[in-house]
Amino acid sequence: AELKKASKRLTCHKRYKIQKKIREHHRKVRKEAKKRGRKKPKKDPGVPSAAPFKEELLREAEQRKQRLEELKQKQKLNRQKEHEKKRKLEAKKNAAKIKEKAEGKESSGKSKAKTNKLLDKNSKKSFCRELKKVIEASDVVLEVLDARDPMGCRCPQLEQAVTCSGGDKMLLLVLNKIDLVPKENLEKWLNYLKKEFPTIAFKSATLMKDRTMEQFTKRRARVDLSRTTECFGSKCLLKLLQDYVRTQNKAIQVGVVGFPNVGKSSIINSLKGVRACNVGLTRGVTKSMQIVHIDKQTKILDSPSIIADPSNNALALALRTIINTEETGSADVLEGVDAILNHCSKQQVMMHYSIPDFRNTEEFLTLLAQKRGMLKKGGVPDVENIAKVLLCDWTGAKISYHSQPPESHRLPPYLTEDIIAKMQECFNLKNLEEENKNTVQALKCPSPASSITFQAAGMTNGTIQENKAIEEASEWENLETRMEGEEDEEEDFTESDDDQDNVEEEKDVKEVNQCFIRLLLPIPGQYPADFLFSESEHSSSLSLSLDKTADEDDAYDFNTDYV
């Protein structure tokens, strides 16, 4: 169906009103002309008859007029073609919309698929979904704990899901980052945790070799990577898994789970001996399940981090949340730092950071920012950024702190003696104890005086089920999805048949514009250079002034107030 042009008809009242205004305007102009006195417009004298090459100049003038007329006609045709193109595109879009409405179910299915693709991978629901996949697919689950705060890294919901699954799933505790804890404290924790589940002392390699690392070592041969690639406990863990494979007589899948920044991916890399998984200081680097083949019988499944429940205390949320410190608000970060400082001894914190006595967290952060040189304009200490750095240090492997295990051992409600016996019967616990002793002896641990004493707040509740995950969707995410959807629709309506015609038309337009510019340009040497530059500056100033808003134009500039 052809599109009809909009009607230009007006109401009589409106038409008469316009005519009246025009008459009044003409009357006003005539009165002003009478006051000023009429001046006859100067006629163009033309080319004098005595001038040489008069006929040639007249011909050139006529030719210029003809060219300008031709250019105008071409431009008019190009505009008409552009309008026709737009109309065609609109017609196609309307036809496509009608088809989508007629199809109904198919179009709704496609839209759902698009929305699923556009879903953010960082969403809490996707993390829960991937974690559930890992737990269901794995025969043995490795719960990774930070040796500095093992109780804070334990998730009762995860342990209950594994133990009460009804199958033959086994749960092992891997005590990672043992090089940041004193030996006495490490031995206490191993004795405490082995009463519930088989526990392995582990120190993952901090830097793994890959293709980029080989180039780095070739260029700089003096760099010693032996210390950074040291790993303790990998042989013990592999041997334990191989023994379990022999007892089961089948290939097994091992899932590695835990809270953010406990070292899940680094454990997999150290077991494989190569950097197979991405590792970083930022929380939530792993966003989906990743399968790593260690040998023919064992596969390791890397999982995204467990999401800490919002009902946890401030300390657990500060150390175990999946949110990146760069994206969190300043108030949340300050609350987290306050909770950490309240659970540590003040004197040890002062000794570690070599800072004088402080009354509150804000004063502590200002002193630390001044010491490290993190200042804003005017020498104001950057409290927000230093708080984020401090949180990264405490979750990373920079600061050495340790927590004491509980004095009385109480089993959680989901654990019974039968479940504990079932978890321990498939593994050789004597060999495991000997291997743990060897790793503790071989490892170089910090002294109790250099390590900060930390008061643990108990187990951290986590959300494993997808339905319970609370989404915190922001407006910009919704806008991004809308924009991407609109771009997809525009791509669908691109023309395929008229591509060559469009290219030719664009070339014609460019040629016409170039000719028009040549005609309008002044002859070289006719005007001085200053005149040309002034025109360009004027045009640029006009373009800049158009970009400004009304508020900026009306605002008074105090810098121009000269005496």
DSSP codes of every residue in 426-441: TS-HHHHHHHHHHHHH
Query: What confidence tens digit (pLDDT) does each residue in 295-353 have?
Result: 888 888 888 888 888 888 888 888 887 655 455 556 778 888 888 888 888 888 898 88
Q: What is the mean pLDDT of residues 115-139?
A: 72
Nearest to 155 by CA among 361, 550, 461: 461
Residue of 562 and 354 predicted with greater confidence = 354
User: What pLDDT shows up at residue 212?
Assistant: 41
Q: Which two tokens stand for residue 185?
A: 């404290």
Residue of 377 and 491 predicted with greater confidence = 377
User: What pLDDT shows up at residue 27?
Assistant: 96
Residue of 485 and 130 predicted with greater confidence = 130
3-state SS, residue 454: strand
Residue 461, pLDDT above cutoff 50: yes
**Residues facing 283 on adjacent strands:** none
Residue of 324 and 284 predicted with greater confidence = 284
pLDDT class for 520, splitting at 50, 70, 90?
very low
Domains of the chain, first to last? 119-208+226-310+404-446+459-466 (3.40.50.300), 314-395 (1.10.1580.10)
C-alpha gyration radius of the chain: 38
What CA–CA distance (Å, rounded) separates 285 from 263?
11
What CA–CA distance (Å, rounded) separates 299 from 145?
21
User: What pLDDT shows up at residue 394?
Assistant: 85
Residue 254, pLDDT above cutoff 80: yes
Q: Tell me how far CA of residue 159 lies from CA of 142, 267, 288, 372, in angstroms.
A: 10, 20, 21, 42
Least confident residue range of 197-211, 350-364, 413-427, 431-445: 197-211
Q: Tell me how far CA of residue 355 lies from CA of 137, 147, 402, in angstroms.
A: 50, 27, 21
Are the C-beta atoms of residues 470 and 310 closer than 8 Å to each other?
Answer: yes
Task: Please tell me the pTM assigned to this model.
Answer: 0.58
pLDDT class for 455, splitting at 50, 70, 90?
confident
Residue 475, pLDDT above cutoff 70: no
295-309 burial by CB neighbour count: b if 16+ within 10 A, else e?
A: eebbbbbbbbbbbbb
Q: What is the mean pLDDT of residues 438-448?
A: 85
Q: Tell me how far CA of residue 75 lies from CA of 1, 5, 388, 513, in angstroms.
A: 27, 21, 59, 9
User: What pLDDT shows up at residue 77?
Assistant: 92
Residue 425, pLDDT above cutoff 90: no
Determine how many CB atoms are found less than 10 A away from the CB of residue 387.
26
User: What pLDDT shows up at residue 74?
Assistant: 92
> How many CA atoms, within 13 angstroms, populate the side-chain half-sphere of residue 364?
21
User: What pLDDT shows up at residue 530?
Assistant: 42
Are the C-beta atoms of residues 458 and 304 closer than 8 Å to each other?
Answer: no
What CA–CA distance (Å, rounded) separates 472 from 343?
29
Largest CA distance in the chain: 124
User: What pLDDT shows up at residue 467?
Assistant: 63
Rounded to the nearest angstrom, the gap between the alpha carbon of residue 420 and the centroid of all alpha carbons in its chain is 42
Query: What confidence tens digit (pLDDT) does each residue in 188-220 have?
Result: 999 998 888 899 999 887 765 443 443 333 444
Determine how many CB atoms are found less than 10 A away from the CB of residue 67.
14
Query: Which strand (E) or helix (H) includes residue 161?
Result: helix 156-163
User: What pLDDT shows up at residue 528?
Assistant: 43
What CA–CA distance (Å, rounded) separates 509 from 511?
6
Residue 281, pLDDT above cutoff 70: no
Phi (first) and psi of residue 102, to 5 degrees? -70, -40
Residue 242, pLDDT above cutoff 60: yes
Nearest to 240 by CA among 272, 198, 293, 295: 198
Residue 554, pLDDT above cutoff 80: no
Q: Which residue has the tokens 């593994």?
A: 427
Residue of 281 and 528 predicted with greater confidence = 281
Residue 476, pLDDT above cutoff 50: no
Q: Mean pLDDT in the chain?
A: 75
User: What pLDDT shows up at residue 79?
Assistant: 92
DSSP 381: B
Q: Which two tokens stand for residue 350?
A: 């002062």
| DSSP E strand stretches across 75-214 | 140-146, 170-176, 199-201
User: What pLDDT shows up at residue 163?
Assistant: 86
Q: What is the mean pLDDT of residues 53-70?
A: 90
User: What pLDDT shows up at residue 546?
Assistant: 36
What CA–CA distance (Å, rounded) separates 257 from 263?
10
Residue 402, pLDDT above cutoff 70: yes
User: What pLDDT shows up at residue 508?
Assistant: 55
User: What pLDDT shows up at residue 132?
Assistant: 84
Sign of the four-CA dihedral 430, 433, 438, 441: negative
> Which residues have C-beta within 8 Å of that of residue 205, sequence separation ≥ 6?
228, 229, 230, 231, 266, 269, 270
Query: What confidence tens digit (pLDDT) does each residue in 142-156 have?
Result: 999 999 999 989 898
What CA–CA distance (Å, rounded) separates 504 from 35?
57
User: What pLDDT shows up at residue 510?
Assistant: 52
Residue 233, pLDDT above cutoff 60: yes
Nearest to 426 by CA among 57, 140, 125: 140
Residue 21, pLDDT above cutoff 90: yes
Residue of 492 and 446 predicted with greater confidence = 446
The secondary structure of 243-267 as a DSSP string is HHHHHHTS-EEEEEE-STTS-HHHH
User: What pLDDT shows up at residue 477?
Assistant: 41
User: What pLDDT shows up at residue 306?
Assistant: 87
Provide the pairing of β-strand 307-308 with 462-463.
Answer: antiparallel
Query: What confidence tens digit (pLDDT) does each residue in 495-509 have?
Result: 444 444 444 555 554
Determine how many CB atoms are found less than 10 A away from the CB of residue 322.
18
